Homo-oligomer: A and B are copies of this chain.
Amino acid sequence: MNRSSNLPRIVIIGGGFAGINVAKSLKDAPVEIDLVDKRNYHLFQPLLYQVATGELDPANIAAPIRKILWKQKNVHVALGEVTAIDFDKKLVDFDGGELDYDYLVIASGAQQSYFGHDEFRAHAPGLKSIDDALEIRRRLFLAFEEAEWEADEEARRKKLTFVIVGGGPTGVELAGAVKEVASETLPREFRNIHSGMARVIIVDGGQRLVGPMPEDLGVRAQQVLEKMGVEIHLNVHVTDVTDEGVVIGDEKIPAENVFWAAGVQGQDLAKTLDTEVDRGSRIVVGPDLSIPNHPEVFVVGDAAHATDATTGKPVPGLAQGAIQTGRFVAEIIKAEIAGNAPKERPQFSYYDKGSMAMIGRGNAIAAIGKIHYGGILGWISWNVLHVMFLVGFRNRFKVMLDWLWNYIWKTRRSRLITGDPEVHIKQLYSEHQQPVIKPHRGKRDKTEDE
């Protein structure tokens, strides 16, 4: 309220890496910014798999958007989901109200893609939000709890089979962490099962793991994971996912736990807009990251189908892509508002700072320029880099503590099974378990002993 100024109005949709960087880069600009997000927190997505596997708490990797931007007086944060955009009237509708803009920046990110098989979703949660991560965490740790009391060997094996669909960086990190939970964290806590026997399987349609990274690192990741005991199926697609497990090619793998790390697509809203989207619902933008005929509408981060003006390659859907496109767009807006913009807008070029993926305890792969490496050195780089980029010193410090502690003691603190256990346990036991449930050790037969 009381914002009746005539300053140019910027609406930013989304508070991820891209949206936050647009807002922050406009810190000193004479503008009024509205940032709308359907969540109240900014999420450090690269560490989400660690929440899913009990290594970190949600609040370690998520910070309230208001908290991040509270000092920046030209930003107004709104919680809500955008329901419509009118490019001609320059209006954004969200479920908390209506916003008009002079510039619009769409930074709404990506959602999990099931490649047209949305019916897989209920059986195979993805990994895009804190709620997703908590759902995977719940299933992961519940699987061992149930297996502990499952008398039937086949059913037990099914409970202890984890299929990760997708062998990109997220899939590889998730698989490594699940295997670590099974073989390092849990064995000493269970009495009936050998949790280390849990099968962890990666399925990927490509020829090798971590497709976006250099080939030698894909090979390296595979070697490390196989040595850890992770089974890897390449060149094969998942054709069905049910309560019973997954079907890959002609083979059926009985598994109660399927986690989806296979693909992403733009938000559904993108398809409703009066502009071109690609097959993955990403909005197609020009070299200046604006959409055709609307130079005042930019798309950044995972929401955009953008092309690197230098290499002609697509801008990768990584944190760096989001940060760089966000800052690029903010610079254009700043210059135009200040009236010192060049006649032609600049064209976006991606600067590849490298990429990394954690594989397991003390082992990560990294590609920085032409240098590819792995092992303990990769692991150290991975840790340093991820902590450096965590938003807010407080989180950094706590995350470092957690990692150190977990590394030394081979433990994981955040293993709570939450989300109405009364409902879930009952459902799971009744849906998946044998009709007659017997404890593993059976009832002691006193007469026999006497």
Q: A191-232 interface mask toward B, CB cutoff 8 Å, 1 = contact, 0 = none?
A: 110000000000000000000000000000000000000000
**Residues A425 and B95 in contact, CB atoms below 8 Å apart:** yes
Identical chains bound together, number? 2
A interface bracket (residues with beta carbon within 8 Å of B): 35 or more
With A95-B425, A440-B1, A449-B6 in contact, do A416 and B58 touch (Cβ < 8 Å)?
yes
In the bound complex, CA of A100 to CA of B444 (Å): 7
**Residues A437 and B39 in contact, CB atoms below 8 Å apart:** no
Is A279 among interface residues, defined by CB-CB distance under 8 A?
no
In the bound complex, CA of A40 to CA of B189 (Å): 12
Is A97 among interface residues, defined by CB-CB distance under 8 A?
yes
Chain B: which residue is nearest A413 at the CB level? B59
In the bound complex, CA of A87 to CA of B329 (Å): 72
**Residues B422 and A41 in contact, CB atoms below 8 Å apart:** no
Most buried by B among A40, A62, A131, A141: A40
Is A398 among interface residues, defined by CB-CB distance under 8 A?
yes
Is A57 among interface residues, defined by CB-CB distance under 8 A?
yes
Most buried by B among A3, A437, A439: A439
Chain B: which residue is nearest A193 at the CB level? B1
CB distance from A131 to the nearest CB of B (A): 6
Residues of B within 8 A of A80 (CB): 149, 425, 429
In the bound complex, CA of A38 to CA of B429 (Å): 12
Q: Which of A15-23, A63-71, A337-345 contacts B (4 or more CB under 8 A)?
A: A63-71
Partner of A41 from the list B81, B146, B416, B439 (CB cut-off 8 Å) is B416
Within 8 A of B (CB), among A393-450: 394-395, 398, 401, 405, 411, 413-422, 425-426, 429-430, 437-441, 443-444, 449
Binding site for B on A (CB under 8 A): 1-4, 6, 9, 38-41, 57-60, 62-64, 66-67, 70, 76-81, 91, 95-100, 130-131, 134, 141-142, 145-146, 148-149, 151, 188-192, 394-395, 398, 401, 405, 411, 413-422, 425-426, 429-430, 437-441, 443-444, 449
